[in-house]
């Protein structure tokens, strides 16, 4: 690794860090405004951008093999399935009760 690319990596990390700090300030600032139904989606969108920056640059997924990218994808799919099936249950409980009452 040449001296130039080493300095480049340090610069990149500092740049990412500054974006992360700005996003931290933004997420706190936004929390003081009531956006109604958008409160949660906006907070989660900012958190996901932050998480994405950490995974992609700090955890070196930008230079990672297909196998490791597959692991990142697998954890997202696993989380998605957990949310999907739990909410398929909880969100439809009221409707099922209503049908039974009729």
- Residue 15 is a binding residue for other proteins (CB under 8 A): no
55 binds other proteins (CB under 8 A): yes
Question: Least distance in Å: CB of 95 to other proteins?
Answer: 15
Q: Which of 11, 38, 39, 62 binds other proteins (CB under 8 A)?
A: 39
Could you give the C-alpha distances from 78 to 37, 56, 65, in angstroms and in order? 26, 19, 20
Minimum gap (Å) between residue 40 Cβ and other proteins: 8
Q: Does 78 bind other proteins (CB under 8 A)?
A: yes
Residue 4 contacts other proteins per CB under 8 A: no
């Amino acid at each position: 690794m040449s001296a130039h690319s080493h300095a480049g990596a340090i610069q990149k990390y500092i740049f990412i860090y500054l974006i992360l700090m700005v996003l931290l300030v933004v997420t706190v600032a936004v929390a003081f405004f009531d956006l109604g139904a958008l409160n949660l989606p906006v907070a989660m969108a900012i958190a996901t951008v932050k998480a994405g920056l950490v995974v992609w640059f700090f955890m070196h997924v930008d230079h990672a093999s297909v196998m490791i990218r597959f692991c990142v994808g697998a954890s997202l799919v696993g989380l998605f399935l957990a949310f999907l099936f739990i909410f398929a249950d909880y969100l439809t409980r009221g409707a099922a009760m209503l049908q039974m009452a009729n």
